[in-house]
Amino acid sequence: MKACLLRARAKVETNPLEYTDAEMPEPGEGQVRVRVHACGVCRTDLHVIEGDLPPRKSPVIPGHQVVGVVEKVGKNAERLAMGARVGIAWLHKTDGTCEYCRAGAENLCDHPEFTGYTVHGGYAEYVVAPQDFAYAISEGFPDEQAAPLLCAGIIGFRSLRLSGIQTGGKLGFYGFGAAAHVAIQVARHWNVEVYASTRDARHQKLALELGAKWAGGTLDEPPKKLDAAIVFAPAGEIVPAALKALKKGGVLVLGGIHMSPIPSFDYDLLYQERMIRSVANNTRQDGEDFLRVAAEIPIQTRVQIFSLRDANRALNALKNDAIPGAAVLRVQP
């Protein structure tokens, strides 16, 4: 099969992914093999490729927003039928026995596996995954439209939940890429006012088109105090500005897996019971709940499509904020 293989961590400007032949994966017990139709390109892929996240598997095939069809099943894999259309997300597998899994917080599992990071992912023609961690994908979403829902969408949804935002509330988004452009559609569905702070004029325009009440520069102060805010950009310098924009008792959610250092700030920004929370991965319940809401709305993702062999080009465009919405690799028809 063809795949994009990362042999050594490097800046994406050096085009480190090798488009090459790779061994066809075989499904083990309880696993399915999926013929990949599309795979989203995520900022987490950048963090894996450039080494912001410590290497866990080398070489590795990145990609964790996979949409395809079940092409082969392993022993005791009876949950999904052959030909079923499924999605594979970041959370590849959990141990199911640690204190966090037992408490319903499998996103914090002590011994997790992650698609495209600790196991091979979806920048390939085929990928294997545990049947219990694959999602059914609504027929209402074409493959390329569905792919960004599997990380940008799910993590944005978890961020919304952790923010505690209520109907009629005022919510800030810092950074307006793939996750934010999905999350704003859920927020507007919940009748939440959204204020978008992002450095790129194209992304500001997209935010307004999708129903933002206001859009401005990354560090610009929104015209209204916010009940909650979510930082999607991996830039620690945003945190003080976002705290300053919050009302008393407001919640600031950090929605990324990696962030540059957060500068020191006066305690006054945190005082009055403001709160900072991080988002770590997602539970399968998050995914199921989000995909149900996404189909109800229905979410309309804005995508720019690249071929599998052009994965390096897609990653460079993502790094340079040149993707309004989400980048998606079209792998097979």
Mean pLDDT rounded to a whole number for the chain: 97
Average pLDDT over residues 97-112: 98
To the nearest 10 degrees (0 to 180), the angle between helices 152-163 and 178-189 is 50
Q: What is the mean pLDDT of residues 303-321?
A: 97
Nearest-angstrom CA–CA distance, 157 and 301: 14
The pLDDT of residue 90 is above 80: yes
| Nearest residue to 178 (alpha-carbon basis) of 162, 164, 157, 201 | 157
pLDDT tens-digit readout, 228-279? 999 999 999 999 999 999 999 999 999 999 999 999 999 999 999 999 999 9
Position 190 pLDDT exceeds 80? yes
> What is the pairing mode between strands 170-174 and 193-197?
parallel
Please give the average per-residue pLDDT across 168-192, as a whole number: 98
Average pLDDT over residues 58-65: 98
If pLDDT is split at 50, 70 and 90, which confidence band does 107 have?
A: very high
Domains, the chain, with CATH or none = 2-150+300-330 (3.90.180.10), 153-278 (3.40.50.720)
Spatial CB neighbours of 214, under 8 Å, sequence gap ≥ 6: 195, 196, 222, 223, 224
Question: pLDDT tier at 332 (50, 70, 90 boundaries)?
Answer: confident
* Contact call for residues 265 and 239 (beta carbons, < 8 A): yes
Tens digits of residue pLDDT in 141-166 = 999 999 999 999 999 999 999 999 99
Show Cβ contacts of residue 44 under 8 Å, excluding neighbours closer than 6 positions: 53, 64, 90, 117, 151, 257, 258
pTM of the model: 0.95
Written as one letter, the residue type at 175 is G
Confidence grade of residue 333 (pLDDT, cut at 50, 70, 90): confident
Structure token pair of residue 116: 């495209």
